[in-house]
């Protein structure tokens, strides 16, 4: 990393607890200590620290344009907040070739850690995949704590392009952490590390609980139950288009199922339903429009039933379907 890209980072130890002193009081603040990006690698890759030389002795070559698991340039998939141990540590180092990785060194007995970790998680979530948070329990992973030369916790370190960058020690106010992370992102951008990680579990659209009940009934083959559940959705949200489409689709499926049980029903209505289910929407629309034309002014029941079925089919296909647009135009001419 070029010197002009390097920024100074405060390594404030306020609120840090020395390792090996469970229940100890937080260490006094050390505001005079400054740890910059320059020389950060040398600070950790010292002889006597297992794995340090292998992990950090040579700078990794970042591939800012490389495709991640999503197939989008520089985009990876996976949780943006992870518990890391020796088994998956190398994976985290590799991810740092695409975007900054924040290392949170903590222990369960450390009270300042319990204050800081939620702050880190909140900020990382707000950054929406521009950084990854790797949480390392130093009690369970002493080798990793040794690599980072953690003398007290919480200690927060970044990895950029396979290189460690000291950030700070001890619990810090959220705004100060935000400022540090923003500076880190600038340095990463200067190094070409502008990738993003997408947490598909978090980004997946949440299903409405009422929708879940209706969908469960559909999966179970309970058409009547599913229709009833979708009507509950509409009662709660009258403009829910998903519910409207589902009701129309399920009513059609229910009618076709009933007709199949009654062999010999060759009525125009039944033929229209079957044609629609078979994928021939134009034929289905034509049959129902003919019924509407013939029944208008003479058979109100047939007229209304055919019109209702036609509108249900429109709902299933959606107004953008060109077949719906054509049939709706003809229906308008018949009605008005």
d(CA 279, CA 283): 9
Q: How far is CA 125 from the centre of its chain?
A: 11
Annotated catalytic, 310? no
Q: Tell me which of 45, 84, 113, 292 is the catalytic residue.
A: 113
Residues linked to residue 106 through DSSP beta bridges, in sequence order: 137
**Spacing of C-alpha 317 from chain mean position:** 29
Residue closest to 139 by CA, chosen among 113, 121, 162, 167: 113
Measuring CA to CA, how many Å separate 283 from each of 112, 250, 289?
71, 20, 10
The verdict on whether 113 is a catalytic residue reads yes
Q: Are 29 and 130 in contact (CB under 8 A)?
A: no
- What distances in angstroms separate CA 174 from CA 17, 119, 140, 215, 239, one per listed residue? 19, 6, 27, 42, 41
**Which residue among the candidates 16, 110, 158, 246 is catalytic per the annotation?**
110
Q: Show the CA angle centred on residue 288, arms to residues 282 and 294, nearest 5°.
A: 130
Catalytic amino acids? 110, 113
């Amino acid at each position: 990393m070029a010197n002009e890209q390097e920024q100074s980072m405060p390594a404030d130890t306020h609120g840090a607890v020395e390792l090996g002193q469970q229940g100890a009081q937080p260490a006094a603040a050390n505001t005079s200590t400054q740890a910059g990006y320059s020389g950060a690698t040398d600070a950790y890759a010292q002889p006597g620290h297992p794995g340090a030389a292998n992990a950090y002795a040579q700078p990794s070559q970042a591939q800012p344009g490389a495709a991640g698991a999503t197939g989008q340039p520089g985009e990876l998939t996976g949780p943006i907040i992870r518990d890391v141990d020796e088994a998956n540590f190398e994976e985290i180092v590799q991810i740092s070739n695409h975007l900054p990785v924040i290392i949170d060194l903590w222990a369960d007995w450390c009270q300042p850690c319990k204050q800081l970790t939620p702050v880190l998680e909140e900020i990382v979530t707000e950054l929406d995949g521009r950084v990854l948070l790797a949480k390392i329990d130093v009690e369970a992973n002493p080798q990793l704590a040794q690599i980072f030369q953690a003398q007290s916790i919480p200690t927060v370190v970044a990895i950029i392009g396979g290189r460690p960058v000291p950030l700070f020690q001890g619990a810090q106010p959220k705004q100060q952490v935000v400022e540090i992370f923003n500076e880190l992102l600038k340095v990463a951008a200067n190094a070409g590390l502008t990738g993003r990680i997408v947490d598909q579990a978090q980004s997946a659209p949440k299903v409405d609980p009422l929708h879940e009940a209706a969908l469960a009934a559909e999966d179970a083959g309970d058409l009547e139950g599913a229709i009833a559940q979708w009507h509950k959705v509409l009662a709660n949200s009258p403009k829910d288009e998903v519910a409207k489409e589902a009701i129309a689709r399920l009513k059609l499926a229910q009618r076709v199922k009933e007709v199949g049980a009654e062999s010999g029903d060759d009525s125009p209505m039944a033929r229209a339903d079957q044609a629609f289910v078979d994928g021939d929407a134009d034929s289905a629309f034509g049959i129902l429009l003919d019924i509407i034309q013939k029944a208008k002014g003479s058979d109100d029941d047939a007229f209304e039933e055919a019109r209702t079925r036609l509108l249900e089919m429109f709902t299933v296909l959606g107004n953008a379907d060109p077949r719906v647009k054509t049939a709706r135009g003809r229906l308008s001419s018949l009605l008005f």
